[in-house]
Amino acid sequence: MNKISALLIDDEVSALRTLKGMLREYFPDIHIIATAQTVKQALNKVALHDPDLIFLDIEMPPFGSGFGFLEQCQSTRFGVIFTTAYPKYAIKAINMAQPWAYLVKPFSIDELKKAIDIAIEKIDSSMLGITANQKSIIIADARKGNIIVRLNQLLYCKADGATVDIVYKKNNKNTTITASRTLKDLENELPENSFCRCHHSYIVNLAHIERFEQTGRNGLIYLNNEMTVPVSVSKMDFFIERFRKYIDPKTGL
């Protein structure tokens, strides 16, 4: 399997050093991509690196807490292994984050191994059924900073002059962010088996199409959130072919 990318979050330098040493010596499948000592640092590192796994401390005074980090984090793609000196938070941690493990400091190599074995099993299981729709992209929003958007939540992208509006689902609500990039850039970045440039100004996520209607030479896509996306004359044949292949990649029917 590919190495598991890991972010280590702890306010204590000594704790970070100890965990890094254990991981590097005994667990070559874990690739430490970054460390963070505050919630703000951690949020920035997640947006930048999109880790598979986070080792997360809970109490990090005066810089916040592990729970505060989880509440503020835009991404939910990563797994969590709590590493804390306080067993009293276990129930809250389980209820809030459904962590892959809860390690109480000081923990042994054997305890860490059990936690990492669980992480490897979880990640292997998710990779077996992974599709392009389960990955993420990082969007730089002028007002909100870097935002991680899971592709299975992305509905469509719309060009608006020199920017692109990206519409996606967040907590069952439609959310729009504006990125200073071209639609062509996004078209090249998004997986072609599940996204389609259906119009000069639109890219649509094929997974969210409820139905499609031709209106003369043009067309109209109805998404499962009741939004609509146009299909232009020039993109009609291309869209229909791409959508058929998405529905049945073997036959295109």
Instruction: Read off the pLDDT of each residue in 227-249 and give the average, rounded to a whole number.
Output: 90
Kindly state whether residue 253 falls inside one of the protein's structural domains. Answer: no
10-19, 28-37, 137-146, 169-178: segment of lowest average pLDDT: 137-146
Residue whose tokens read 């074995």:
117
Place of tokens 């909100």: 144
Given a cut of 90, is residue 83 above it in pLDDT? yes
- Both 70 and 181 in one domain: the answer is no
Res 128 pLDDT > 70 = no
CA distance 108 to 26: 12
Highest mean pLDDT pick, 11-20, 116-125, 242-251 = 11-20
Between the alpha carbon of residue 12 and those of residues 19, 79, 82, 97, 127, the distances in Å are 11, 21, 14, 22, 33
CA Rg, the chain, in Å? Answer: 21
pLDDT in tens, 144-186: 777 888 888 899 999 988 899 999 988 778 899 998 888 998 8
- On whether both 49 and 143 belong to a single domain, the answer is no
Could you please report the per-residue DSSP string of the chain? Answer: -PPEEEEEE-S-HHHHHHHHHHHHHH-TTEEEEEEESSHHHHHHHHHHH--SEEEE-SB-TTS-BHHHHHHH-S---SEEEEEES-GGGHHHHHHHH--SEEEESS--HHHHHHHHHHHHHHHHHHHHT--GGG-EEEEEETTTEEEEEEGGGEEEEEEETTEEEEEEEETTEEEEEEESS-HHHHHHHS-TTTEEEEETTEEEEGGGEEEEEEETTEEEEEETTS-EEEE-TTTHHHHHHHHHHHH-TTT--
Query: Among residues 128, 147, 180, which one ends one of the domains?
Result: 128
pTM: 0.52
What are the two backbone dihedrals, phi and then psi, of residue 166, each rounded to the nearest 5 degrees? -110, 120
Q: Are residues 150 and 243 in the same domain?
A: yes
Using alpha carbons only, give the angle 3, 9, 15 rounded to the nearest 5 degrees.
Answer: 100
Measured at the CA of 227, the angle between CA 226 and CA 228, to 5 degrees, comes to 120
Phi and psi of 176, rounded to 5°?
-120, 130
Are 145 and 108 in the same domain?
no
Whether residue 12 is found in the same domain as residue 120: yes
Domain count, the chain: 2
Domain range for residue 159?
133-247
Same-domain pairing of 12 and 87: yes
**23 shares its domain with 95:** yes
Decide if 252 is inside a domain: no
Per-residue pLDDT reduced to its tens digit, 199-237: 999 999 998 999 999 988 899 999 987 799 999 999 999
Is residue 198 domain-shared with residue 119, that is, in the same domain? no
Pick the last residue of a domain from 107, 128, 149.
Answer: 128
Residue 126 has what pLDDT? 55
Confirm whether 229 is domain-assigned.
yes
Of 18, 9, 11, the C-alpha closest to 105 is: 18
Cα dihedral 138, 141, 146, 152 sign: negative
pLDDT of residue 76: 66
Length of the chain: 253
Q: pLDDT digit string (tens) for 71-80?
A: 888 776 788 9
Domain boundary residue, one of 128, 163, 192: 128
Tokens standing for residue 250: 């073997």
